[in-house]
Amino acid sequence: MKAPCASCHVSGSECVLIKSRRGGNFRRQKSGLASSNATPTGSREIFDSAVGSAEPHSDGEDSATESGDVLNMELRNPSDALQILALSGENQRSEPRDPSLSESNIANSGRGLNSGEYRAAAQPGKDPTTIFDDYELVQRGLIRPGVVYELLHRYSHYYHPYCPIVPLYFLSSANTEKIQRTDYFLLTAILTIASRDDPRHSLTHRYCWDHAQRLLIDVLLSHPWTQTPRTVEGLLLLAEWLPHIQVQETASEASKNLFSEDRTAWSLVGLAVRHGYLQRLDQGAFRSTGNISRERAERNRLVWAYIWIADRQISVRMGQSFWSRGPSNGARFVAQDFPSLQPRPETNNEDYASVLQATTELIQILHNAHAILFASKDRTLAMIYDGQYSRYLDDFRAAARTWHSTWSHISVSTKVQTTLLIMYEYICLYTNAFSFQAVITRAANPRLSSQKEQQNKKPFTELLSHGIMSSPDGRFIFDAFSAARNLLSLMNSLDPQNVICYLPSRYYLYGVYAAVLLHKADCTGAFQLGTQRQEIICLVRDFISVLEKAPSTESHICHSYSRMLKQLWTRRERRYSKSAARKRGQTGEANTVLQNQNQHQLRNDQQSPAGTAMSNSHSTPEDFGLQHIFDPVAVENDLAFPSVEGYFQGSFMPGVADFGSPFDGGLGILSGTQDWDLQAGLGSGEL
């Protein structure tokens, strides 16, 4: 046996002499033992994993020769150039490895997984007692493993039904051993959400949120350990349930700042979109799966579907443009395309797959409405002044009606079904409210050539004072107010402390949107009947009461929303009371004048019989109108003679606008939750 060389003697490695490299084409040979003896550096390992995470490849032989030549590899952008560099020759000196579990990736990630965790777990004889013993918050003694299990169960019960994107092994205590270190960002997000509405875990909530913010820096910098769909899921969940302490701290920096939560959520969703593209999750928008497994393709499709939904929802809320591409035109995904969401005992047999399909179809209507009605500022104003939006609103209304007839009776729990219907009413409100805003915009800035007409324009308080149906946009405005009423009724029907408290924050904004729109409608004189207006006020008061009862912590965002809504409507009530008092005073003066005129006329008639006969046979139109307008009986009981709006024009025009029964005409009203109580008009009674 020959003596080893000096380097092998020092390193303690077996000395194997290589064969002669003279002659032959060694580019076609396997990498052999030389590659197994090579020791890659940490920086190169991170680089390989970062490239390989997007599209896995084989390290067995030269990648350039796998496709025939480097020239055969696609070169469309600088990223493809890096791919060629990484795959042509570098792979001969390294063995294939899982980039997400690379030791150097974790060790060099800075904060992500606590650089000592992996080394401690790799040492023999030091296996953790539980799967969470190597979790940083548990290692530091900030939370106990039992608390982790408790919060996971709490999340599964209260939060998971509204966004069932978390893998089931997170929610089952028997399968938590499947949680890997690359899942710790998602785990931290779940613990942060599950502890935010429980006063007993207020300190735990702060620990979890502080740790999540440290991990977010790694996510922002796209550290290799973050290149996993679990990271995207964690970002989407945080955007839905942002910690209350974050909202409170951000809002305290500026007075009356109610936009901090939306802005933070918008930023988190944008980060999720970018990570989705970085991991090629957008390929889930297509039917073709390529070379990946069916399970992974389904997971990518599921995650990208929720990315698309979150992007559309937050963009519409913020009035921004969309970031992500939606499902391809040729790929219409249905419930069967999401097997992981099918009913099963672990999820109380909830049909989350059907809920996702129904939500996707609703969001598609919202997407089209936002893209068409708000394509650009100039286009929106052109539609408002030219009135070209009515055909679009008709189509949106027909699509919503079809959706409601298909999904309104979906077989899920009551709270999930109610949230789905709330979203439906919100989309009906969003599309039809465009018409209401168009009426206000035209009244505020009319495009009139005559200065005299400019001076004679009606004030806002008289826009709808003659009834909703007196406006050309009446049917759309009617549907908008109907959707707002139904939305508030659905919100008020939920249990404040067991359901509303745990809803994603966007549902609170749906209710706020409806309440503010009804306030705006009241300011335009849309609710003329006393019972009509009183019913609206009762709905809003009940919603404010629900928001006040829902929070279990003082930092909950519902406190701010309820306080601001109460101020808005209280101010409106004071103005309405003053206006009503002035009208009563003016009416009393008019009645006094009228009575004096009648007494004077009566004395003249008694003195001149001929004049009496002439007066009775030739009454002028002015006298006739004056007597009916200032009738003392009508003033004392204004509900005795309801306006035409109280009948909804059904009795007067049964063939055109009969709102008593649904029909297929342009003015028909949806059956089900879209219907108003038509027995007594809009004001069917006080709640």
User: 39 CB contacts (<8 Å, ≥6 apart)?
Assistant: none
pLDDT: which is higher, 129 or 281: 281
Distances (CA, A) of 236 to 159, 164, 268, 308, 393: 13, 11, 7, 11, 31
* Domain that residue 209 falls in: 109-279
Distances (CA, A) of 478 to 26, 372, 525, 684: 79, 21, 13, 16
Is 187 among the domain residues? yes
Is 166 among the domain residues? yes
Note every long-range contact of 670-673, with CB atoms under 8 Å and residues 24 or more positions apart, other chains counting.
Answer: 670/400, 670/401, 670/404, 672/404, 672/408, 673/404, 673/408, 673/421, 673/424, 673/425, 673/486, 673/490
Structure tokens at 112: 């992500």
> Whole-angstrom Cα distance, residue 349 to residue 431?
34
Note every long-range contact of 446-452, with CB atoms under 8 Å and residues 24 or more positions apart, other chains counting.
Answer: 447/385
Same domain, 183 and 260: yes
Residue finishing a domain among 225, 257, 279:
279
Same domain, 49 and 175: no
Q: Tell me the average pLDDT across 451-458.
A: 51
Count Cα atoms within 13 angstroms, Cβ side, for 287: 6
Distances (CA, A) of 252 to 248, 261, 387, 555, 565: 6, 12, 43, 11, 19
At 194 the pLDDT is: 96
Is 92 among the domain residues? yes
Same domain, 201 and 271: yes
Is 569 among the domain residues? no
Does the pLDDT value for residue 109 go beyond 50?
A: no
Is 206 among the domain residues? yes
Does the pLDDT value for residue 516 go beyond 80?
A: yes
- CA torsion angle 245 248 249 252 (round to 10): -170
State whether the Cα torsion 419-425-431-437 is positive or negative: negative
Same domain, 193 and 88: no
Does the pLDDT value for residue 463 go beyond 70?
A: yes
Q: How high is the mean pLDDT of the chain? A: 73
Rounded percentage of the chain residues whose pLDDT exceeds 90: 39
**Most confident among 94-108, 401-415, 545-559 (mean pLDDT):** 401-415
Same domain, 114 and 207: yes
DSSP for 327-372 reads S-TT----GGG-GGGS--GGGTT--HHHHHHHHHHHHHHHHHHHHH
Residue finishing a domain among 261, 279, 297:
279
Of 611, 607, 683, 613, give the one whose Cα is nearest residue 643. Answer: 683
> Whole-angstrom Cα distance, residue 506 to residue 262?
9
Does the pLDDT value for residue 618 go beyond 80?
A: no
Q: Tell me the average pLDDT across 239-249.
A: 81
Is 383 among the domain residues? no
Residue finishing a domain among 223, 251, 279:
279
> Whole-angstrom Cα distance, residue 301 to residue 356?
12
Same domain, 266 and 137: yes
Q: Which DSSP category does 374 fall into? A: T
Structural element, H or E, at residue 192: helix 184-194
> Whole-angstrom Cα distance, residue 583 to residue 581?
5
Same domain, 125 and 264: yes
Q: Amino acid letter at 203?
A: L
Same domain, 60 and 120: no
Same domain, 133 and 58: no
User: 296 CB contacts (<8 Å, ≥6 apart)?
Assistant: none
Is 633 among the domain residues? no
Does the pLDDT value for residue 673 go beyond 50?
A: no
> Whole-angstrom Cα distance, residue 109 to residue 221?
10
Per residue in 328-376, pLDDT tens? 566 678 899 899 999 988 888 999 999 999 999 999 999 999 999 998 8
Does the pLDDT value for residue 414 go beyond 80?
A: yes
Same domain, 72 and 193: no
Same domain, 91 and 131: no
Does the pLDDT value for residue 629 go beyond 50?
A: no
Number of domains in the chain: 2
Same domain, 191 and 252: yes
For the ranges 287-301, 650-664, 671-685, which has the lowest average pLDDT? 650-664
Per residue in 299-321, pLDDT tens? 999 999 999 999 999 999 888 88
Confidence of residue 611 (pLDDT cuts 50, 70, 90): very low
Is 349 among the domain residues? no
Structure tokens at 550: 């829902």
Confidence of residue 85 (pLDDT cuts 50, 70, 90): confident
